[in-house]
Chain A
Amino acid sequence: MANLNLVQAINLALIQEMEKDERVLILGEDVGVNGGVFRVTEGLHARFGARRVVDTPLAESGIIGTSIGLAMAGLRPIPEIQFDGFLGPAYDQICSHAARMRTRTRGAFTVPLTIRVPVGGGIHAPELHSDSPEAIYSHQPGIKVVMPSSPYDAKGLLISAIRDPDPVIFFEPKRVYRAFREEVPEDEYTIPIGKARVVCEGTELTVVSWGASVLQCMQSIEKSSRSIELIDLRTIFPMDLEAIETSVKKTGRCVVVHEAPRTGGMGAEVAAQIMERCFLYLEAPVQRVTGFDTIMPYYKLELNYMPDASRITGAIEDLFAF
C-alpha cells in the first residue's frame, strides 16, 4: 500500500501498464520531458524513453487522429489533452472516428484508446480550462466516459480503461488532483468500467454524483442528521443503472449533483432513468444541483458556479420538506 494522491495514483497506473504491455504508449503536448501540465506523466519519459512517451506538436486533432490510427493498428495509445476545453479541436476525430469505427467496420477494426483529460473547475482557471463536457461525450454512442473522484478508483479505472477494447475518455477532476491522499495498493488491480461505488450507505435519500462534486456531497452528507446514501457513478457512460435503481427504490428520494451545466447534463439522464424505473417508489421529485447554463466564469465567480455543500444541503432539505 502507498499513500497517494490522484496524480500519483494515475502515474502509478501508467507505469504499471507500460511495464506490462509494450503496446502501451503515451503521447501529448509536453507530456514527456516536462511531465505534463499537471505533472501526471512525470518521470515516465526518463523511465520509458522518448519512443514510448512522445512529446507531440500542439495539435489536438492530430494527436487524437494519430492515436486512432495507432489503436487501429493494434497498439494501446494513451493521448493526453491538456485541458477539457481543448477537446474542441479533437472533437471531430473523437466523435466522427474513434466512436464509430467499430460500428462502421462492423467490428473489423476497433479503437482501444484511452484519452486522458483533466476536467472541471475550482483551480481559478478561466473558461476552456474549467469545463465539464462529460455529457457531450456520453451522448456519442461508441465512447465510454469515466471520471474517478479518488486515487484508489483512479488507478483501478485507468487500468481498466487502458485494457478496454473500445475508446474511453478518462476525465481527471483537476480539483481533486492533489486534494487528498489515500491508501492505494501497489499491486495492479482493476475497477470495472460501468460500475458505481456506494460511498456511504443510507436509507432516506440517495445522492448521485461523480468527479470532484462527490467531495462536496460528502461534506453536505456529513453535516446532515438524515440517513443518506451517496453513489459515485465513476463511469458516466455506460451508467450503472442498477446501482441507482436499487438505491432509490430503497430511499425514495434522489438528488443528482454535477458541475456541468444543467440543461442536457447527465443529471437529466439520471432523473429520467429514475422516472422509468422507480416512479412508484418516489416520495418526491428528483432534484438536480448543477452548474448553470452559462459559460464557466473567471475565478471570482467560479465558486458560485460549482455546486457546493450548502446548495446540496438545500436540495436535500427541499426533498424532505416536499
Chain B
Amino acid sequence: MMLIREFELRCMQAYQDKKIGGFCHVYIGQEAVAVGTIAATEAKDPIVTAYRDHGHALARGMDPKHCMAEMFGRIGGCAKGKGGSMHMFDRANNLFGGHGIVGAQIPLGVGLAFATKYEDEVINGGKSNRVTLAFLGDGAMNQGSVHEAMNLAGLFDLPVIIICENNGYSMGTSISRGTTMGHKIVSKAAGYGMEGVEVDGMDVVETYGAMKQLVDRVRETSRPIFVDMKCYRFKGHSMSDPRKYRTREEEEHYEQGDPILVLKTQLESRGFTDDQFKGIQRDVRAEVRGAVEWAEASPIPPTSDLYRDVYREKWGPYTGSSDPEMLGGAEKPCDSPAIDPKADLL
C-alpha cells in the first residue's frame, strides 16, 4: 500500500512537471482494495481492471520501473510507452489491463473466466481452478456491457469475481445521482443469479480476509460473485478536477480512515513501531525515485514504433499506401527496446 501511495504521489508530481501527459487517474485512498483483493489470489488468477490501474499493477507485482516508464511514454513501459496511464498490462503476472472504455473490461473478465472453464472441461479434462478478478468502478455499473457480462457469468457459472470499487463517484456524479439502488448496489447481483457481498475496502485486513474466503469459494464452486467494495478516492477523478461536487468535510471524514493509517494502527497494537513505518517509507521512496530515474533514462519510442503491434506482421497486410516512408522513412523499427533484463514485460 505504501509503495502504491508513494508511486501515485510521484505520478502527480511528474504530471505537474509535465513529464506525464494526457490523463492520470491516481489510486490514492483505494490502496487497500487492490492490495487486499490481489493478495487473496494466486499468481495464475487473471486480473482485469479499468483505467485507474497503477495500484493493481503494482499489487500484482509489476516492477514500478515499467509502470512509471509507461506513464512517461517510454519504451521501457509495460505497453512500450504507447499506452500511458490507463494501459497497464503484465503478461507474466496475468494482469490483462488497464482499459480505457469504462465497463468494457467486465466482458473481457467474464471471457477470461469462460476460458478457464472451457479449458478445464474441454482441453485439460482437469481443473486449473483459476479465479478471475474483474474490477470496475461504481460509475461503470451503468454501462450496458457490464450487465450483458454479468448475465453471461451467472448463466454459464463462470469463476469470476466482479469487484465494484465503489468510491461513490463517477467523475463528478455521485452514485446517488447516477445509479439506481446506489445505496445498495449489491442488490444488482441477485438479478443475475449471483451472490452479492459488501466488503469494507478501506481496511486491508478485512478486505483480504473477506476476499480470501470468496476466492477460495469460487475456486471450489465456479460460481460468480459480485462484490460491492466500499472505498473512497482521496484525490480528484483525474489531475484536473477541482472536486466541486463534494465537500471538504466529506473528504476529511474519509481521510481519517486512510487505509495506510488504519493498518498502521492495527499493527502498532502488535508491536509495530514508528521507526519501522519510517523505514518502509524510506524504502518505497527510494524504490519509486529509482523508478522515475529509470523511466527518464528509457528512450522515447521511435517514430517507426507507430506501426508496431498493429498486426503480427510488422506493417500488416492492410496498411495500404500509408507507411513510414511518409515520415522520411529513415528510422528502423525498434527491435530491442529492453533496458531491463525482465524482458517478458516488454
Contact = CB atoms under 8 A, between A and B. Distances in A.
Nearest to B21: A124
B36 interface: no
A29 B303 CA distance: 35
Interface string B142-166: 1111000000000000000000000
Contact of A125 (B22, B81, B170, B179): B22
B57 to A, nearest CB: 16
B306 A123 contact: no
Contact of B305 (A128, A262, A297): A297
B178 A262 contact: no
A127 B81 CA distance: 12
Contacts of A299: 21-22, 73, 84
Contacts of A89: 101, 103-104, 143-145
A261 to B, nearest CB: 7
Given A126-B23, A129-B23, A304-B327, A263 B319 contact: yes
Interface stretch (A53-61, A112-120, A132-140, A177-185): A53-61
A88 B319 CA distance: 22
Contacts of B271: none
Nearest to A311: B326
Interface string A162-201: 0000000000000000000000000000000000000000
A128 to B, nearest CB: 5
B143 A262 contact: no
Interface residues of B, number: 50
Nearest to B316: A293
Main secondary structure of the interface of A (DSSP, over half): loop
Contacts of A56: 178
Number of chain A interface residues as a range:
35 or more
A293 B318 CA distance: 8
A98 B231 CA distance: 39
A30 interface: yes
Nearest to A298: B84
Interface string B55-95: 00000000000000000011000010111111100000000
Please provide the 8 A-B residue pairs with the shortest distance between their CB atoms, ordered closest to farther.
Answer: A124-B21, A262-B322, A57-B142, A263-B320, A300-B73, A299-B21, A34-B172, A125-B22
Interface of B: 21-23, 73-74, 79, 81-87, 100-104, 139-140, 142-145, 170-173, 177-179, 244-245, 300-301, 303, 305-307, 310, 316, 318-324, 326-327
